[in-house]
A and B are shown apart, each in its own frame.
Chain A
C-alpha cells in the first residue's frame, strides 16, 4: 500500500477576493510546471443565479516551488470565456487539463450545456495558449471529443497525456441517467482515446476500470502518471445515489497498467482515505498526481467536491 502523508489544504477560494467569478469551489486541480512556481489549474464558480444554477470557470493559482503553501499569484480572469449561444460550453468550462506542446500550452476541458429532461450535458473541447497558460482560445467552436454510439452523453473529466509519440486522453463517458428521488443523476465510467496529433481521436470504446462498489458506480478524474516502468492511475468513484455525503460520497481509487490501455484495479493499494475530521472528512476526490523536485505529490479535493478548495498529500516511498 502507498503511504500518502497529508499536508493539508493549500488553496481556499473563499479567501481570494476581488474576483466575482471566483466565489467558491476550486475543483479538479491540474498542474503546469514553471522554473520557480507550480501553476495549478482549477475550476470555480460565481454565486448561483436566481434559479440556483451555476456556471463554472477555470483559472489557476501559482504556488511557490520551494514552498507549495505559499501562494504567489492567482489568475486575474478565467483562462477561457464561456462558449457562445448554443455551443457545448455555453454554461461551464470544468474541468481542465493542460500540457505543453510545440512552444504553446494546450488545454482540454469539459464544456457544459443545459438540457430540458436532464440538468446538463458535457463534451470535451480543446484550446491553446500563447502566453504560458494565462489565457486560452478555443481551436474551434465545437467539441474535439463529442457524443458517439457507445458514449452517448456526459463526456467529461479530460486528462491529457503524451507517452512516446502518442497522445492519450483519459476521460469519463456517461452510461445512463439514473432517476433517484425524482432527480436525474449521471452514471459515468472511465475511458481512453489515443491520437497522433491531439485533435483526431480514436476511442478504445470500452470501460477501463471495473466497477467495485456497485454496477452503477460513477468513476471520475482518471489521472495517469508514469513511474518506475508502469502506468499508475488514481481516480475517484462514488455510489450512484445519495452521494452528496460521507456514506456514499467520493473516495479515491487506484489502478495500474503496463501499456496505459489495459488496467487492473487495486484500490487496496491507494493509501489515502477521508480524514477523521477536518476539511476532507466527508469525501476525497479528483486526485492529480505530479512530481516536483524528486517528490511525488497528490492534489485532491475535500468535502462537497472542492467547494472549499483543494489540498496536497506527499508520497512516502516510491510509486511502484
Chain B
C-alpha cells in the first residue's frame, strides 16, 4: 500500500467562516453523503485576551474531494459554559453516523494555571444531517480516571460487529525541558468500548500502539478503517520537546494494523506518508483522518504549523 498525495484542498483564508474565525483548519474529519463529502474541522478565533478559541466548522466537497461546494456560515456547535470542560475550544470534532443521526465526539479544552490546558471527550448529536450539533450534557462522556490522569481527548469512534469502539489518547506526564520552560505533555493512544456510544468502558491506560520514539513519544489522533479483513490505524506522533520548531521532531503520520482490534502491530513505513520539500506539508504531517468514498480510501491531514493554513488529502493505492 502507498499514499498518492493529491495536495492541499482547503485554505481557511479563502473563506468567510462563522465566529470570526480566520486561521486554522485543523483535524479534518469526513461524513460521506449521497452527493457530497462534508469535512468538519476546527478553526480559530481569539478571545478578548488574545487567547485562541477553537470553533467547529465544515466544508462540503464534491465527491472528487477537490471541488468545494460551500462552507458552514453558521455556528455548528457552541462552546461550553463557564467552567465546563469545553469552554475554551472544541478541537477536534469526530463525527460518525449512528442510525439516522450523526454523533460527534468532541475534544473540549479548558485552560489551567500550572499547565496550559486539560481536555475531555464530549458527545454532541445532530438530527439535521450534520448542519448543527446539540451537546449531550454539559460534561464529558470520557474524562480523566485513576490511571489516565489528564488530557483524555482525540476520540475516534466506529462500530464494528455491533460494538462501539473508541480510540482516543490520554496524557501520561507533563514535563519541563528546563526549569524555566513551560511544561510539555506526553500522551498515548488508548481504547474503550461501549454498547450505546454514551457509556464507555476504558481499557484504563493500556497503551495499545508500541512507541517508536521511546517513552516520551506523543501519539495523537488515532483514526481506524477496515480494509478487507484487516484494521488499519493511522495517527500522528512526535517528540514531546521542541516539536513546534525543530524539523524532524514534529508530527509525522504513524500506522499500525490489527486483525482482532486488540493487538496492534506498528508499521509506519507501510504505507508511509512523507512531506514534500518546499510544499505545504514539508515540515510536518499531522491529524490524519482516513475514510472510504466511492470505493477509494482517502487520508485527510494537516501539514506545516499544525494546520494553520488548511488541510490536504492523499489517496491509498492498494
Any chain A CB within 8 A of the CB of B70?
Answer: no
Known: A148-B141, A153-B139. Is A117-B149 also a contact (CB below 8 A)?
Answer: no
Q: Are B146 and A139 in contact (CB under 8 A)?
A: yes
Kindly list chain B residues whose C-beta atoms are within 8 Å of the C-beta of A141: 146-147, 149
Q: Are B112 and A86 in contact (CB under 8 A)?
A: yes
- Contact A146 B143, beta carbon cutoff 8 Å: yes
Which residues of A sit under 8 angstroms from B110, Cβ to Cβ?
A: 115-117, 121
CB–CB B146/A142 < 8 A: yes
- Cβ of B150 within 8 Å of any chain A Cβ, yes or no, is yes
Q: How large is the interface on B (under 10, 10 to 19, 20 to 34, 35 or more residues)?
A: 35 or more
CB pair A146 B145 closer than 8 Å: yes
Query: Which of B123, B145, B151 touches A149 (beta carbons < 8 Å)?
Result: B123
Assembly CA distance A113 to B112 (angstroms): 8
Interface residues of B in 113-143 (CB under 8 A from A): 113-115, 118, 120, 123, 136-141, 143
Assess whether A116 is in contact with B111, with CB atoms less than 8 Å apart: yes
Tell yes or no: A268 within 8 A of B by CB: no
**What separation, in Å, do the CA atoms of A149 and B137 have in the docked complex?**
5
In the bound assembly, the distance between CA atoms of A118 and B83 in angstroms comes to: 6
A123 touches B144 (CB 8 A): yes
The majority secondary structure among interface residues of chain B is loop
B contact residues around A118 at 8 Å (CB): 82-83
Contact in complex: A153, B148 (CB < 8 Å): no
| Residues of A with C-beta under 8 A to B82 | 117-118, 176-177, 179, 184
Count of A interface residues, CB-CB < 8 Å: 38
Bound-state Cα–Cα, A114 to B112, Å: 6
List the 10 closest A-B pairs by CB distance, nearest first.
A152-B139, A149-B137, A140-B146, A116-B111, A142-B149, A114-B113, A86-B174, A141-B149, A177-B83, A86-B115
**Which A residues form the contact surface with B (CB < 8 A)?**
84-88, 90-91, 113-118, 121, 123, 126, 139-144, 146-154, 174, 176-177, 179, 184, 186, 199
B residues whose Cβ falls under 8 Å from a Cβ of A: 81-85, 87-88, 110-115, 118, 120, 123, 136-141, 143-151, 171, 174-176, 183, 185, 198
Q: List 28 A-B contacts (CB under 8 A).
A: A86-B149, A86-B185, A88-B149, A113-B114, A114-B114, A115-B83, A116-B112, A117-B82, A117-B87, A117-B111, A123-B144, A139-B146, A140-B147, A141-B149, A142-B144, A142-B147, A143-B146, A146-B143, A146-B144, A148-B137, A148-B140, A149-B140, A152-B138, A154-B83, A174-B83, A176-B83, A186-B83, A199-B146
